[in-house]
Amino acid sequence: MASRFGYLGLVLAAFALMLLGKADVEVMEKVRSTVSDTIAPVLEILSRPATAVDQVVDDVTQMANLRNENIRLREENQRLIEWQSAARKLSSENQQLKGLLNFAPGAEPGFVSGRVVADSGGAFVHSVLVSAGARDGVSKGQAVITGDGLVGRVHAVGSRSARVLLLTDLNSRIPVVVEATRTRAILAGDNTDRPRLVHMPPGATVSAGDRIVTSGHGGAFPPGIPVGVVALVGDSTITVKPYVYRDRLEYVRVVDYGLQGILDSNFAAEGAGVIK
Amino acid sequence: MNLTFWQRLDLVMRGITPFFFTLVLVVLGQVPLHIPGFAEVAPLLPLMAVYHWAIYRPDLLPAIAVFTAGLLQDALSGMPFGINTVVFVLVHMVVMSQQMFFMGKSFSIIWLGFSLVAAAATVLTWLLTALFYSAFTSPESAFIQYLVTVGVFPLLAWLQVRWQQSVLAQV
């Protein structure tokens, strides 16, 4: 009998915690950050052997492909050199035109790098823990990127760890544009690896293979970060294949665009507001 | 027989290993393994510990310890506080109520029992997440995660039985 009451008490306590979390009580996030901060050093050590094993496997597969890889890289290098000269030309032209127009440049972003030390979420939440926190200059709402593109945004910050909400998470809403047509939209995660484009303006056309980049609307995200390519255009849904793979996340960069504060926790609403 | 201080300390230290073991599983479950597609379907390791100890040594992993492990799981995984907590506590309660049934049963029955308990736990987690966010998450990855969890169970069960027979034999 006593144990029945014990269980009832624990279950009620758990539901009370859920309600508290739902009410967005700051305390819950504080507790979470404190726990993450405490465990982060342990995870930091634990994640190293996993990475080491991963690297050995990677090395062996690379050895096998060395020749083909070399040929591929030579070709790519050739192509990139051509692009480089094009970029140089465009960049100087851009400079001159900006000079002519008296263009006010946006803020220069700063970066903080961190290691991904935890990725557990499973099927129900898509987030990772990064070993950089408030003491390194990370703050809530900042964009997180890798060399490939956008990873997500900082969701909660402890002193030496930060939780990053991946762009595939159910709660992720990111203002984006279709690169070629400059059509604005919101990239909404749904806990699958293919987030959807929503709030497209009526009549806008988008086709598979179009590049999607951040729009910079909403403040904290620099514009032009590559996000992914349109994978599938259905009758009611447009899905996007992100450039960044969750399983390959190891080191990430947190972008300090100097504009945090504009972006409050009610990110989705603001993003949608921009679209109108 | 009177135990010396050190003998008693030794027993206490051995006795808390199931709880410690469960917490270690929670933390281990967070380590990124860099296997393509694995992160979404990573097995829920602590659930296996909760199930195992509830059958064989509930005295060493009481409900309050399970509650704590659930809290840690919620805190580290980034899930809303309370969801894994309530799931773990309910699993503990259900398994404890069937403890008599499980005692002395063959491993296949234990495994079958786990597959049922884990199914219920997955559905409950899915429902609670849907309620919390007022949105349904993809059932496919939840289902695959369930299959992976059931698949990994024998390995962890074997380790836990070994532990129980060696370290906890006298406790």
pLDDT value at position A164?
A: 93
Residue B115, pLDDT above cutoff 90? yes
For residue A161, give the DSSP letter.
Answer: -
Walk along chain A (276 residues) and give the pLDDT tens digit of each residue. Answer: 457 788 899 999 999 999 888 887 788 888 888 998 999 888 888 888 777 777 787 788 788 788 888 899 999 999 999 999 999 999 988 888 888 887 776 667 788 888 888 886 677 888 999 999 999 889 888 899 988 899 999 988 999 899 999 999 988 999 999 988 888 999 999 888 899 998 888 888 888 889 999 988 876 688 888 999 999 888 888 999 999 988 888 889 998 876 544 444 444 444 433 333
Q: Is residue B22 part of a domain?
A: no
Q: Are residues A220 and A270 in contact, defined by beta-carbon separation less than 8 angstroms? A: no
A83 and A140 both lie in a single domain: no
Both tokens of A275, joined, read: 């679209």
Tokens of A100: 């002519």
The whole domain housing A183 covers: 109-276
What per-residue confidence (pLDDT) applies to A121? 60
Is A199 in the same domain as A127? yes
Contact assignment for B78 to A120 by CB distance below 8 Å? yes
> How many structural domains does chain B have?
1
Task: Flag whether B158 is in a domain.
Answer: yes
| Tokens standing for residue B32 | 């990124």
Residue-level length of chain B: 171
Are residue A161 and residue A80 in the same domain, yes or no? no
Output the CA–CA distances (angstroms, integers) from residue B94 to A70, B61, B62, B100, B121, in the order listed: 59, 14, 13, 12, 11
Q: Do A120 and A229 have their domain in common?
A: yes
Give yes or no: residues A114 and A97 share one domain. no
Q: Are strands A251-256 and A143-145 parallel, antiparallel or unpaired?
A: antiparallel
The pLDDT tens digits of the residues spanning B27-46 come to 988 888 777 777 777 888 99
Scanning A18-57 for CB atoms below 8 A from B yields 18, 20-22, 28, 31-32, 35-36, 39, 42-43, 46-47, 50-51, 54
Pair (A94, A117) in one structural domain? no
Both A74 and A140 in one domain: the answer is: no
Reply yes or no on whether the pLDDT at B133 is more than 50: yes
A13: which chain B residues are within 8 Å (Cβ-Cβ)?
67, 85
DSSP code of A135? G
Same domain membership, residue A95 and residue A201: no
**How much is the pTM?**
0.81
Residue B12 within any structural domain of the chain: no
Domain of residue A118, CATH code: 2.40.10.340
How much is the pLDDT for A235?
81
8 A C-beta contact, residue A129 and residue A116: yes
Q: Return the HEC string of A72-105.
A: HHHHHHHHHHHHHHHHHHHHHHHHHHHHHHCCCC
Same domain flag for A113 and A177:
yes
A222 and A119, same structural domain?
yes
pLDDT confidence of residue A100: 83
Distance separating alpha carbons of residues A29 and A35, to the nearest angstrom:
10
Number of domains into which chain A is organized: 2
Q: Which of A206, A252, A198 is nearest to A232 (CA)?
A: A206
Domain boundary among A49, A79, A101: A101
Q: Are residues A139 and A267 in the same domain?
A: yes
Say how far apart CA A189 and CA A245 lie, in whole Å. Answer: 14
Instruction: Find out whether A246 and A168 touch, Cβ atoms under 8 Å.
Output: yes
Look at residue B16 and tell me if it is in a domain: no
Q: Rounded CA gap, A209 and B153, in Å?
A: 42
Burial readout A242-269 (b: 16 or more C-beta within 10 A, e: otherwise): bbbebbebeebbbbbbebbeebeeebbe
Q: Which domain holds residue B54?
A: 44-166
Among the partner-chain residues B30, B37, B92, the one whose CB lies closest to the CB of A247 is B37
